[in-house]
Amino acid sequence: MLADGRELIYFDDADTRLPAERAIDERELAPRPATAEMRQDPLTGEWISIAAARQHRVVLPPAELDPLSPQSPGNPSEIPSRYDVAVFENRSPSFGPEHASAETFDPLGALDGLRRVGLERREPSLGRCEVVCFSPEHEGSFGTQTVTRARTVIEAWAQRTAALSALPGVQQVFPFENRGREIGVTLGHPHGQIYSYPYVTPRTERLLAAIDSYGPALFADLLERERGGPRLLIEGEHWSAFVPFAARWPIEVHLLPHRHVPDLAATTLAERDELAVLYRRLLRGVDALYDTPTPYIAAWHQAPVHTRRDEVRLMLQLTSPRRGADKLKYLAGSEAAMGAWIGDVPPETQAEALRAAIGKVSE
């Protein structure tokens, strides 16, 4: 536990040289902020979490004050000990720390209630937000880690997905990595996050509607089409990566498992082993497109916890606004206001460039 009661979990590499003992967090910390409030937008039915405590987040600190580095005499950071991979509860969460009552929580009834639309509806932002530190080093990303370390991070994602899915009130679990200041990243330390939502997210609700229209074979048919097509980037025994047919972003890649699994917790050890190699190679290929690192959002879309798990397949969606070496795509009128996207680069053209970049990357 951290000094204010937040949970901290260490995940060690298979070949770790770290001792089993871990230091105690001896800081004096202020009490945790109260759970934020959700408000419903009656024009869309979507829920907006109003989390004012996020305004106090650390922004681009110097290396000697990195809050995700191990604690030192001059740096009272969030993690007391040297570590390989560390996961801890966010100090200023968008959801949580309050949970639903385990005795009274009805997951499907709660979903139905949240989907109803009304005026000035308010609910507590129940759930949990965690930070996943990929390395004790001050700079880097998932793609800069070793295969061994990448495998440890994947194990942490899988374990935390299972644990967070078991919390009362959680309807969907979302691991992700934001990389680059252009995305809005406030810490250069290699890390990601996991959000546990009290509702099914709007993007997943749109997916459920698409499955209703197409049929339950949507993911299987999509993967079969892409594995034999011009947008395929990487194909392994268990996973395939491709540029989607209707890519929104200048750089957009989807990664799917070959068999149906609803989330990372349901993957096998063999699937996790291959993912550590292929996903790392994919990210390094994205960086090889240009002379400088590419900003991106790497989003692990997982099935809802309590519904449609036999239809919604685990999928990584990696997106970047980078449309050239020194050009970014900004969401202006059509995209931001109307959700009507205009693609800047033909998906087949981008797939060809990405295949060439991935081909330059060493294993």
CA triple 285-289-271, angle to 5 deg: 15
Q: Whole-angstrom Cα distance, residue 356 to residue 336?
A: 32
Q: Whole-angstrom Cα distance, residue 287 to residue 357?
A: 8
Tokens describing residue 56: 């106090």
- Name the active-site residue from 191, 238, 260, 301: 191
Active site residue 56: no
**HEC sequence for the chain:** CCCCCCCEEEECCCCCCCCCCCCCCCCCCCCCCCCCEEEECCCCCCEEEECHHHHHCCCCCCHHHCCCCECECCECCCECCCCCEEEEECCCCCCCCCCCCCCCCCHHHHHHHHHCCCCCCEEECCCEEEEEECCCCCCCCHHHCCHHHHHHHHHHHHHHHHHHHCCCCCCEEEEEEEECHHHCCCCCCCEEEEEEECCCCHHHHHHHHHHHHHCCCHHHHHHHHHHCCCCEEEECCCEEEECCCCCCCCEEEEEEECCCCCCHHHCCHHHHHHHHHHHHHHHHHHHCCCCCCCCEEEEEECCCCCCCCCCCCCEEEEEECEEECCEECCCCHHHHHHCCCCCCCCHHHHHHHHHHHHHHCCC
Q: Whole-angstrom Cα distance, residue 69 to residue 90?
A: 15
Catalytic residues: 191
